[in-house]
Structure 1
């Protein structure tokens, strides 16, 4: 396995999500109880003060709504907390302060170092959370069932990059994927890259399609999934991004993947796919990125490309393509990257 390439595949969706900007129209003066909870949290966490850029600046003599990484609503309640890249290594499981922030809607703990600790079940206490990012934070073990009770979640990111051949691996066994998402009907973005889901196509596809009607982004890179992709997935008509790279799908490329009316990005590299690529997949009017690289595909030629397609990136490297490129590829006015090295 080419780990550097795999690592970059993971970093693309993670960094896009990580650098999202939180917008708050207005914030009030910090409520006294909210400041107390934040200071309790700071005191309970183990972190490297020489590397911290947010926690280290929190001081009892200032308004907590002005603290770096803290967002408040107009009433002075803490609704957003960004503690990514804060070199936190422990103490979260006993953080009464964190789990007492009942108004919290957004929490980002990405890229910390929790040393293979399990995700604390007490995250389920944060019932108002809409955004939870624990990606690459050093958590390991079974994902707790309590996350399934966070029914207001819109974005859930538990991704991890397997740099060390299995270290810091999260599992979805009990609960499994179906149990995790069964109550998360508001979810629009799901990132479980590197999480050991170990499910067959009919299991993981039906789990998603039956519980997540509003899902727009699905990223399950290197999640130990097997195929074939079940047609029930097409019930998720809001899907715009599908990333299933580095799984063992072992099937032909399903034609029904062209049936998502809002599809922008489809990435299925290194998935054990075989056979011919359905013509319709090249002609989805909304698609901007199509990556089917490193699969045992046998394509005699590319189809004709109609005008007004949105395709920016087409990657078909290592797919045994041996045909000609039609002149109609000139219709792809937005095309900025094409890879056809075999």
Structure 2
């Protein structure tokens, strides 16, 4: 027999609680909760039951926000005083739990709406931040905490709408509902009606933190009804729209105001009389008027100032009045002119960021007098001339970034006085001369980037003194001489980039000492000799770039297959454009995504055995002396996007077995000994993403491959060339690699260093195709190149070819005539 009665939610909750109480009472000895225990029996039971609602997951997001990260509830044990448990605070007189802080406790699970937590009716402070409640709703039962003063549920993956019941917490002083605005699924929404109630009812609120909460529908003017005693208002990344009233700056107690990241929001900075005692003001990634006004100097209590909202003009001299500033960031604007000398008054500054503007001229002495600076960002401007030697006055600097400016002349030797520097980034300027040996004094450096300048001469051997370096980037200069063996001292190095210089001689064998190295770029130099076997010791390498050098001889037998067996993390291997000879290794790392051996003298069969699950996305063997058959095991490389075996001696039939590869976009078989028919033997769609097909200069016969052409869907999209250009590339776990391609264009052979994603072409010239050009060819509307010359084609040229309006290169006057005829008829 079944008997069910519909009980109200409170009665159900009470019934569950009484059952739990009975169960716990029968299992715990009477002396467990003696009068010596401060915590009440019922509240201890409620907390223990709350504990069972969640598991502990140490992989949940946001642990880096936490000062202390451990599971506080693990200390909660039956028979002990709950007032002694981690995260629990009690009233010293009554023993009631008045505060619960479970922040960063790795709680994982759905938050129950009937949680026994709601029995803690005396709770005044509740902090559940930085846990993972798996997109639960914030329970409406939270209104039962009528004595609550502090509520923090930030970054705990609550979702859906903020319950209106939060407005029924009359004693609330601080409310933090912060959410991750970049989460794919966690979207906490605050509606206008609920905000109105919050503003109206929470008359005691001092701190209101709603960053990352979706407030798209909210009218910003409602915030003007907040209590005049408000001290903190955080609306960062909250999708607010429209105009935010500038009267917010008249709030007499407002000290912290964060409004950054609301890209569709405008706030006008007042012309005068900023009476607010603001200490922190963040207005970035939004619109705050055209100019930074002199009135900014009225905010004399400011300690942190962030303005990044497309401001124009210059920085007013009154900025020097903000003598309490420790952090000043006026980046990502269109400010111009020189930096005002009044900045010298900001003697408390520890961080100055003026990056991504249009400032010009030299760095003024006013900056060099800010002796407390630890971080200086001036990148993406138009600063010019020399770096002043007085910059050495900033002896507290740990971070200096001047990249993408117009600085010239040598780096002053005095930069070696900045002995606290950990990061020095000077790339993309016009620095010249030699790299100063005084850089060796910067023994705390972890990152040194001098790339894209005009440095010349050798690398100073003293660079080997920088034992803390993890990244050394010197590419795209005029550096010469041999790679110094002292680089072997940099045993913490994970990234070394010396590419695009004029280094000569062999790779020093000592480079094998850099066991932490994950990326090595030595391409585009004049390096010679054999590839050293010591590279096999660099087992953490993901990209190895040695292309465009003069390496010669075979890949040494001592490292084949040993090197490739050892480099099991290798994702990118580029040995192209060298003088390497003989056979290529038949054993490749399973992790490999890119293998580029183009333009060498490798011969013999392609001996690779591509296993199932092969992850190759780009295989380029163009311009060698390979012969034999194309290995059938290539069909196991389901991720393959580019296959280029052009300009070899491969003798085989057309590889129909590749037609099912779902991602193949470029297939180049040109200038080999391929032969036979190219007709598809299957009814099913083939080469669904192919955009570049080059079969030229082979021995193919028969009709043009109509069935394939009918399925070239990627060539039928006209691809509007609007916006920024995008290029074909592979993104691996730690790197990216842009594909290249050899093409014949208007009778000349070129190597495209980058392949636009809108590029498509078909080259079938210099074969023995016969019959008519199929009418379906006119559907390939995105084609930029079409070459059918030097075949045995007959019949009429179809008028449909006139639809190929994107063609930049085509074979034959009759095609151009057909295109003009179609245009006239239309």
Alignment of 1:340 with 2:354, yes or no, is: yes
Q: Is the 8 A contact 1:156 1:189 kept in 2?
A: yes
In 1: Cα distance, 2:226 partner to 2:289 partner: 30
> What secondary structure does 1:123 align onto?
helix
Change over 3 Å in CA distance of 1:112–1:308 after alignment to 2:
closer
Alpha-carbon distance, 1:258 to partner: 6.1
Deviations 1:28-81 (A, max 9, x none): 8112222122122223x1222778622122111111100011001112110111
In 2: Cα distance, 1:192 partner to 1:308 partner: 28
From 34, 45, 55, the counterpart of 1:47: 55
From 225, 234, 244, the counterpart of 2:259: 244
Q: Report the structure, 1 or 2, having the larger strand content.
A: 2
Alpha-carbon distance, 1:103 to partner: 0.8
Deviations 1:211-236 (A, max 9, x none): 32221011101111123221342452
The equivalent residue for 2:625 is none
Alpha-carbon distance, 1:300 to partner: 2.7
In 1: Cα distance, 2:177 partner to 2:203 partner: 18
Alignment of 1:110 with 2:117, yes or no, is: no
The equivalent residue for 2:212 is 194
Alignment of 1:288 with 2:303, yes or no, is: yes
The equivalent residue for 2:761 is none
The equivalent residue for 1:123 is 142
Q: Is the 8 A contact 1:135 1:157 kept in 2?
A: yes
Q: Is the 8 A contact 2:269 2:289 kept in 1?
A: no
In 1: Cα distance, 2:349 partner to 2:209 partner: 27
In 1: Cα distance, 2:192 partner to 2:276 partner: 34
From 163, 181, 192, the counterpart of 1:162: 181
> What secondary structure does 1:132 align onto?
strand
The equivalent residue for 1:31 is 40
The equivalent residue for 1:229 is 244
More RCO (CA 8 Å, sep 6+) = 1
The correspondence of residues 235-314 of structure 1 with structure 2, limited to 5 A, is 235-251=250-266, 253-255=268-270, 259-293=274-308, 295-305=309-319, 309-314=323-328
The correspondence of residues 49-64 of structure 1 with structure 2, limited to 5 A, is 53-64=71-82
Q: Is the 8 A contact 2:310 2:333 kept in 1?
A: yes
Change over 3 Å in CA distance of 1:101–1:260 after alignment to 2:
farther
The equivalent residue for 1:6 is none
Q: Is the 8 A contact 1:258 1:284 kept in 2?
A: no
The equivalent residue for 2:100 is 81
Alpha-carbon distance, 1:266 to partner: 0.5
Deviations 1:179-214 (A, max 9, x none): 2332011111111111111256xx323x22223222
In 1: Cα distance, 2:272 partner to 2:167 partner: 28
Alignment of 1:320 with 2:354, yes or no, is: no
Change over 3 Å in CA distance of 1:248–1:306 after alignment to 2:
closer
Deviations 1:102-125 (A, max 9, x none): 110111111111111111000110
The equivalent residue for 1:22 is none
> What secondary structure does 1:80 align onto?
strand
> What secondary structure does 2:317 align onto?
coil
TM superposition score normalised by structure 2 = 0.36
Moved more, 310-319 or 131-140: 310-319
Alpha-carbon distance, 1:178 to partner: 1.6
Q: Is the 8 A contact 1:258 1:281 kept in 2?
A: no
The equivalent residue for 1:213 is 228
Q: Is the 8 A contact 1:240 1:264 kept in 2?
A: yes
In 2: Cα distance, 1:287 partner to 1:258 partner: 15
The equivalent residue for 2:564 is none
In 2: Cα distance, 1:327 partner to 1:337 partner: 17
Q: RMSD in angstroms over aligned alpha carbons?
A: 2.2
Structure 2 unaligned residues grouped into runs of 5+: 1-36, 60-69, 358-826
From 200, 211, 233, the counterpart of 1:182: 200
Q: Is the 8 A contact 2:259 2:282 kept in 1?
A: yes
